Structure 1
Amino acid sequence: FSVNAAMLVVARFVAGLPHGAFFGTATLIAKTLAEEGKEAQAVSVMVTGQTVANMLGVPAGTLMAEFLSWRLAFGILAAWAAMTIVLASAWIPYVAPIKDAGIAGQFKFLTRRGPWVILAAVFTGNAGVFCWWSYISPWLQKTGGWSSSLVPMLMMLAGFGMVIGGLLGGRLTDHWRHAGAAAIGQSISCLGLLLVLITPGNQPMTAVLTFWIAIGLFFTSAPQQLLMTEAGQGGGELIAGAAVQVAFNFGNAIGSIVGGAMLTTFSMNYRYTGLGGMPLALLAVGLLAFYSWRCETDTDAIHRLRETKVD
């Protein structure tokens, strides 16, 4: 119902407010309800909902806005959101509340080094990818030679890559170090950004890179969400889960700025968005490797020792 651009921007801001709260809560619910040893896979399936939305919803909304009305697209989203509230209330079983640690206690986990390393990795990794992703449509058209009418189909390909990446990341995380799995996902993205920079622009290569980087982008989702939820144990789980989304979205914003600066510097050559993003993605790999080496080795084994009496 927006009557001008300012009202539309305000509505967009309000619509974005629940984002962090939703993913923080949904991660905790998925982890709690999962079978033992399959927590990351449960979180990855939850995140897959977002990837399927990218694969189907984004192209559908784009086509609807182009041929019918952008207002109709938002109206359908509003109705869909209302239905989601009903389904969540009806289908999600009871989950015991987390420990009431008070306002200060919820943020206590941020006094440790580890959570900040994870958040820095989320921020730099997403900033790196979004240097390129923010300009993917003109990159596909000007570098890859795709027509604008085919861009929604390529977004479906990207969405499919996100689904694959999310499921693979969840499965690996359940069998290995969480930070190590996240580092592999960031490495996939880093390699993709390097290829964006150094490979010639053509339709097959740009399609492959769109799919490849999308895999890396969501490969990291489950391990990073779990890392933060576990870091916040003791009352800060929801804040920790929401903090991942804060870092994610902040990285998106900064990545867009860095990508724009690359375009300005290199005469609007969209391949150079990869140059801006690759060092940031590489820094994320280093941060996750550091966390796995120095922080993830603390298994709290001393707290799980049992007293044994010998006669």
Structure 2
Amino acid sequence: MKTSFLALAMGTFCLGLTEFVMMGILPDISKDMKISIPAAGHLISYYAIGVCVGAPAMVIFARKMALKSTLLLLMFLFVIGNLFFAISDSYTASSIWRFVSGLPHGAYFSVGGIVASKLAEQGKESSAIALMIAGMTVANLIGVPVGTYISSHFSWKITYEIIAVWGLITMLSIWFWIPKMDALPDTGFKGQFQFLKKKEPWLLISAIAFGNGAIFCWYSYVSKSMINVSGFNESALSYIMILAGVGMVIGNILGGKLSDKFSASGVAMITQAIIMITMVCIFFFSGFSILALVLMFISTASLFAVSAPQQLLLFKNSKGGEMLGGSLPQVGFNIGNAVGAFLGGVPITLGYTYNFTAVPGIIMAFFGFLILLYYFKREKKLSIK
């Protein structure tokens, strides 16, 4: 791996860790802040809202900056947000800084994706983007279990202090390892939005929101589900999160390679169908411990198998506004994240068991599949013309 790709992956490692470790430490935050699990789950939603606001805002304001400088600015904001989240002493302050932490997330994926594509060999762009995203999957494989362990044995605040320090290390890696790249041609403020007049970007954003939201209905509460429904001990959570991370790593690699070899839209559509079937199985079979682990593995693999193809598809459908277009997958992802965490919390609030969090996920996955099926057929029809 080129050191440039390693630097980009270190950034997505930071983003993956700050976003996904929250799922494993919700019980610790709930206990420390003396709030309910659904209320703690809202911290997931605040981060996601920050992503949705920050992705277009940061890209638009930074569109004239050199790509490397933009990456450094985004990581600096990441460090500030996570550091103050870690030292906050109230739920309100924590919510605000959780929102701030999410602001650079989507823009980093956009700018990082552009840099990765420019560094990639021709025809290997999807694999290059997958290399960048690999940092997020490694975060789930190694960082999240370690962060969960630190939280359960010491404090969740220490976990986020370490995340802030890692952000500083990432800034150094970007400074030394990313080559200087000029800003993209500026099409003006209005020019950044021209591609949104087409159907394709909106279809992709909607599909991402529904697909990822489907998984997060259940995965936002995976720690409680594994304990209360599947019958695992709390001490097993770190190992369970490692398995989830392995699924993400494998799914990300497969998604990138299959998209380079076949159709990116076809890979996304088939993966969405797998997500829908998996949510149905989670509802019915998560009471069986081994099956619960297998289904979790499939769901996390699917979550990242769609990442590279969807990122590439939005790049291709955002001519003249590539920086904004490249940030929109993370907007869709985190809209789904926020809505999924909220909808998944509804059955819990109503007193149902944690496998019922998959019910809204089934509905969301179904709509996501229909949208990608329509996009796939539309793409084939336009290519024939």
The alignment's TM-score, normalised by the length of structure 2, stands at 0.74
The yes-or-no answer on 1:141 pairing with 2:200 is no
Q: Which amino acid aligns with 1:256?
A: A
1:100 aligns to 2:186 (yes or no): yes
- 1:147-226 equivalences under 5 Å are 147-199=233-285, 201-226=287-312
Number of residues of Structure 1 aligned to a counterpart in Structure 2: 299
Measure, in 2, the Cα distance between the counterparts of 1:103 and 1:221: 27
- Indicate whether 1:30 and 2:103 are aligned: no
From the two aligned structures, give the one with the greater helix fraction: 2
Aligned-partner residue type, residue 216 of structure 1: S
Moved more, 116-125 or 27-36: 27-36
**Residue of 97, 112, 133 corresponding to 2:198:** 112
1:15 maps to a residue whose letter is: S
Distance 2:139 2:319 in 1: 30
- Report deviation, 1:116: 0.3
The CA RMSD over aligned residues, in Å, is 1.7
Alpha-carbon distance between aligned partners in 2 of 1:97 and 1:200, rounded to the nearest angstrom: 49
Task: State the shift of 1:96 in Å.
Answer: 4.2
Cα separation, 1, equivalents of 2:274 and 2:157 = 37
- Counterpart code for 2:338: A
Give 1:296 shift.
Answer: 5.3
Q: Write out per-residue CA displacement over residues 228-264 of structure 1, whole angstroms, 9 at most, x where no aligned residue.
A: 1111122x11101111111111111111222222345
Which one of 313, 329, 333 corresponds to residue 227 of structure 1? Answer: 313
Equivalents in 2 of 1:26, 1:46: separation in Å? 7
Q: What is the 5 A alignment of 1:1-311?
A: 1-199=87-285, 201-234=287-320, 236-264=321-349, 267-295=351-379, 297-299=381-383
The whole-number CA distance in structure 2 between the counterparts of 1:144 and 1:119 is 33
- How much identity, in percent, do the aligned residues show? 38
Higher RCO structure (Cα 8 Å, ≥6 apart): 1
Structure 1 residues 271 and 3 mapped into 2: Cα distance closer, same or farther (>3 Å)?
Answer: closer
User: Contact 2:211–2:272 at 8 Å: present in 1 too?
Assistant: yes
Give yes or no for contact 1:32–1:95 (8 Å, CA) kept in 2.
no
Out of 43-52 and 1-10, give the one that drifted further.
1-10
Could you tell me which amino acid in structure 2 is paired with residue 146 of structure 1? F
Aligned letter for 2:374?
Answer: F
Give, in whole Å, the separation in 1 of the partners of 2:342 and 2:380. Answer: 33
Q: For 2:355 and 2:365, locate their aligned partners in 1 and report how far apart those are by CA, in whole Å.
A: 16
> 2-side partners of 1:29 and 1:286: how far apart?
32
CA distance in 2, matches of 1:78, 1:300: 50
Measure the CA separation in 1 of the matches of 2:283 and 2:290.
15
Contact 2:348-2:357 within 8 A present in 1 as well: yes
Structure with max Cα Rg: 1
For the structure 1 residues 67 and 48, does the alpha-carbon distance in structure 2 shift closer, same or farther, using more than 3 Å as the test?
Answer: same
- Shift in Å, 1:274: 2.1
More deviation, 69-78/130-139: 69-78
SS at match of 1:201: coil
Shift in alpha-carbon separation, 1:89–1:299, aligned structure 2, 3 A: farther
Q: More displaced, 202-211 or 90-99?
A: 90-99
Equivalents in 2 of 1:185, 1:269: separation in Å? 27
State the distance in 1 between where 2:277 and 2:371 align: 17
State the SS of the aligned residue for 1:174. helix
* 1:295 aligned counterpart, secondary structure: helix
Kept in 1, the 8 Å contact 2:269–2:376? The answer is no
Instruction: Give the superposition deviation at 1:16.
Output: 1.2
C-alpha contact (below 8 Å) 1:179/1:296 kept by paired residues:
no
Note the residue ranges of structure 2 that are not aligned, 5 or more in a row: 1-86
Is this contact kept in 1: 2:347–2:357, CA < 8 A?
yes
Distance 1:189 1:232, change over 3 A: same
Structure 2 residue matching 1:48: 3-state secondary structure:
helix
Q: 2:93 & 2:368 partners in 1: Cα distance?
A: 36
Distance apart, 1:9 and its partner CA: 1.9
